[in-house]
Homo-oligomer: A and B are copies of this chain.
Amino acid sequence: MDRYSRQILFKKIGEEGQKEIAKKHALILGVGALGTHTSETLARAGVRKLTIIDRDYVEMSNLQRQHLFTEEDALKKWPKAEAAKKRLQQINSEVDIEAIVAQADAALVERIIEDVDLLIDGTDNFETRFLMNDIAHKYNIPYIFGSCVGSFGMAFTIIPGETPCLQCLLKKLPLQGQTCDTVGIIAPTVQMVTAHQSAEALKILSGNRDTVRKTFVSFDLWDNEYVSLKTGALKDKACLSCGEDCTYPFLQADANTKVAVLCGRDAVQIRPAEGESLLLEQLAERWRSAGYEVGGNPFLLSIVKEGRSLVFFKDGRALVHGTKNLDEARRIYHSLIG
């Protein structure tokens, strides 16, 4: 136990807390910027098991903020979950690391959820976050939300039955077009979010539920701002994810974004849940200011990214031309929309 001695000396954890941590299994959805940081911290802290899920592979543009990955991982286009696992095992061979290279959908997550003690947000889109939120409430597992862009970030710990859930806070899927691909990100923003996520994770995993932060934290590191906001007023008894008659809408297949190859064409159609609408003018402005050429008319926008031509419709639908690969289309779509 010498390797955890400094964590055991911290009285709020101690020998007892360390024993608890060593029994626990955390599931981290997404090992990009947030997920590489939290998985490294929890592996170093000595959890029993970490499951990491990611559909993506390592690229050079990830290295600026995604820990665990090296130039070699990017050159070999190593899947992120596998590249992370390789490094995590060098850091702590005592931890059982399960790497899953796949889209985290309801079927997959429900299959592996059984002995999971904690869900940690490492994703880059709200669709997967709402899925995690429903999983958390259906199986009564704490879920630590985090997200960031630019120098701005946020974190909140959701405890089923106590706090409002992500659905209570946001009401519906935000489609703001604020992603790391459109407005950029600096690494310290990621680290500030994950410092909060990891501290909350250690509280929960070591059996210190009473010290879990009850406020929603939001900050801007460049503008030197930090706010800590109470959330109680937003808890909604009628919420379909955490309320009295909850149905876990994001676990139902037809609630999620639908992705399908278009019949007879080299193109994929993506259709978001719940008929979300897009604010085309705002999206166009944001993409242009990020350096993209954006075409279109009042009814649709067109943009080229990674050699693929995309068309976005007002009703939220998008077509990704030049591919039949559903995962690639989905990835490019989310890199522009969030």
Contacts and interface: CB of A to CB of B under 8 A. Distances in A.
A16 interface: no
> How many subunits of this chain does the assembly comprise?
2
A183 B41 CA distance: 19
A143 to B, nearest CB: 18
A253 interface: no
Interface stretch (A77-85, A191-199, A269-277, A309-317): A191-199
A8 interface: yes
Nearest to A42: B187
Contacts of A184: 5-11, 13
A37 interface: yes
Contacts of A9: 180-185, 290-291
Interface of A is mostly: helix
Contacts of A69: 91
A245 interface: no
Interface string A2-24: 11111111111100000000000
Nearest to A190: B195
3 tightest CB-CB pairs across the interface, nearest first?
A9-B184, A10-B184, A188-B199
15 contacts: A2-B60, A6-B61, A9-B183, A9-B185, A10-B186, A11-B184, A41-B187, A63-B92, A71-B91, A189-B199, A192-B192, A192-B195, A192-B199, A203-B222, A215-B224
